[in-house]
Each structure stands twice: as structure tokens, then as C-alpha cells.
């Protein structure tokens, strides 16, 4: 499994003007289907960064997308079934 750190995910989703974005984007394209994963804690960090920058809807949508994704697996799975995402509720 290829483990994606939060910096890779943040550049991919949020910092598209970063000088590393082209390389990061190429990696994300080429690694698709090769068994990628991330931790739930990296996902929390990514969503927190988006929400802190005023992108609540995008953060919530990305959280749901990653939790249910077949392409990028979130670990540990034992943490996923109990999650209740209620930001601003």
C-alpha cells in the first residue's frame, strides 16, 4: 500500500498554486489503482485545513468522499464506523 501523508493530500486538494503541485498531481494520477491509503488522522488534518480557510462544504464533502472511497483506503477502519461528522450542527 502507498501511504499518502497529509501534505500530499493538502497540495492535491487545496494548494494548487504550490510549486510542488505539478509533481504531486502526476503522482496522484500515476498511483491511482495501486493500493493507496491514508490515516484517519491525515484526513482530519486535511479537512481541518479546508474548514479553517472557510471551505466548510468542501471539507465535509472530502471527508465523506475519502471515508467511502474505493481508491484511497482510510486506516484504521475500526475508527470509521463510529464517526459522526457534525461540524456547526
Instruction: Give me the pLDDT at residue 88, please.
Output: 44
Q: What confidence tier does 11 reach under pLDDT thresholds 50, 70, 90?
A: very high
Q: What confidence tier does 17 reach under pLDDT thresholds 50, 70, 90?
A: very high
Q: What confidence tier does 80 reach under pLDDT thresholds 50, 70, 90?
A: low
Contacts (Cβ under 8 Å, ≥6 apart) of 46: 6, 9, 10, 13, 14, 59, 62
Q: Which residue has the higher pLDDT, 78 or 8?
A: 8
Q: What confidence tier does 84 reach under pLDDT thresholds 50, 70, 90?
A: very low
The answer on pLDDT for 45 being more than 70 is yes
The answer on pLDDT for 44 being more than 80 is yes
Tell me the three cell numbers of residue 37.
491509503
Global pTM reads 0.78
Amino acid at each position: 500500500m502507498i501511504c499518502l501523508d497529509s501534505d500530499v493530500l493538502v497540495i492535491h486538494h487545496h494548494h494548487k498554486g504550490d510549486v510542488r503541485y505539478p509533481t504531486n498531481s502526476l503522482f496522484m494520477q500515476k498511483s491511482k489503482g495501486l493500493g493507496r491509503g491514508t490515516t484517519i488522522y491525515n484526513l482530519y488534518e486535511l479537512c481541518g485545513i479546508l474548514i479553517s480557510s472557510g471551505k466548510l462544504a468542501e471539507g465535509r464533502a472530502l471527508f465523506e468522499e475519502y471515508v467511502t472511497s474505493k481508491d484511497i483506503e482510510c486506516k484504521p477502519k475500526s475508527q470509521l464506523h463510529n464517526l459522526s461528522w457534525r461540524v456547526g450542527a
